[in-house]
Amino acid sequence: MIYKRTGKLLKKVDKLARRLYIARGKLYAARNAYHQARATRGVDPLIVATALRGIPLTRRMLGDMYQSSADGDLAKILKELESLKEKLKASYFYLYVAVESILQRILRDLSESTKQVDVEAKIEIVDRAYSSMVELRSRIDYMLRSEQR
């Protein structure tokens, strides 16, 4: 069996949920940086502060870095979820059947988010995926607890 103790399965799902939560936070930071860039159309104090340290950095560039980092995290999460899906299918088929629809929803949302360019739309999609991830975790926990009885 892939997961000898069922606690490892829950830890894996928790780790993925935490990484998705961090990617979500990066998208919110990118959105805030883009809004601040629009608000300061003239001289951005961030450019001056970073130029004094060596490399001038605009808020738009900062938002792009956050969004790029979040995109990388989302791609890794998508890949790991697909791997988890295959492992569940092979080792815990009864559990896979119980959570298949939730897994499909998360995978669909994450693959849609990787194609999305607009940060607002991406945040909405990732929020949906995160709430589905929480639902997935609780469903797996419930199924494993009922198995132990």
Q: How confident is the model at residue 119 (pLDDT cuts 50, 70, 90)?
A: very high
Q: How confident is the model at residue 123 (pLDDT cuts 50, 70, 90)?
A: very high
pLDDT of 56 above 50: yes
Is 81:106 a contact under the CB 8 Å cutoff? yes
Q: What is the pLDDT of residue 2?
A: 39
Helices (H) and strands (E) in the chain, counts: 5, 0
Q: First CA to last CA across the chain, in angstroms?
A: 20
Share of the chain above pLDDT 90, in %: 56
Structure tokens at 113: 């988010």
**Cβ neighbours, 10 Å, residue 6:** 18
C-alpha to C-alpha distance for 31 and 34, rounded to whole angstroms? 5
Structure tokens at 84: 């988890």
Give the list of residues 6+ apart from residue 113 with CB closer than 8 angstroms, or none.
74, 122, 125, 126, 129
* 70-76: average pLDDT: 96
pLDDT of 131 above 60: yes
| Burial profile 77-94: b = 16 or more Cβ within 10 angstroms, e = fewer | bbeebeebbebbeeebee
Q: Which amino acid is at 118?
A: D
pTM of the model: 0.86
* 113-122: average pLDDT: 92
For the chain, give the mean pLDDT: 88
pLDDT of 18 above 90: yes
